Amino acid sequence: MAKINCLADVCMVPVGTGSASISDYVAKIEQKIRESPLKSTLHSAGTTIEGPWDEVMGLIGDLHEMCHELGLVRVHTDIRIGTRVDKSQTAQDKVDVVLKKIGADA
C-alpha cells in the first residue's frame, strides 16, 4: 500500500439505527480514532485524520469493523483525501493560511 502522507476527511454514518441521532456511534468512532497514534481533528461533519496513507486507511477499516462488531449491519463512509509532496502540511497549517489571508487571528 502507498506510504505517502495524507489528510483524510472522514464522515462515517451508521445506517438503520432506528433513530435520527447517531451521536452515540460517532462518540465511539471518535474515541477509537483518538486511541490511535495518528493526529486527528474532530469537526462538525466528521474527523480529519493525518498520517501515512496505509495507516490512515487501516484505521478507517478498523473503524468499520468496530461498528459492525457493535451490531451495525451497514455503515456508509465518505472520505476526501488530500496529498502533497512539495512540503509537509498539517490540517491546522491549511486552516492557518486561510485565516491569515482573511486577516483573522490563527
Dihedral pair phi/psi, residue 9, rounded to 5°: -90, 115
Give the DSSP H or E segment for 39: strand 39-43
Helices 23-35 + 53-69 axis angle, to 10: 140
Q: Please tell me the distance from the alpha carbon of residue 13 to that of residue 76, in angstroms, as a whole number.
A: 5
pLDDT (tens digit, 9 = 90+) per residue, 12-54?
999 988 888 999 999 999 999 999 999 999 999 999 999 999 9
Residue 106 has pLDDT above 60, yes or no: no
> What class is the 5-101 domain?
alpha beta
Domain boundaries, the chain: 5-101
Cut 0.85: pTM above it: yes
pLDDT (tens digit, 9 = 90+) per residue, 50-101?
999 999 999 999 999 999 999 999 999 999 999 999 999 899 999 999 999 9
**DSSP state for residue 74 in the 8-state scheme:** E
Pairing of strands 39-43, 46-52: antiparallel
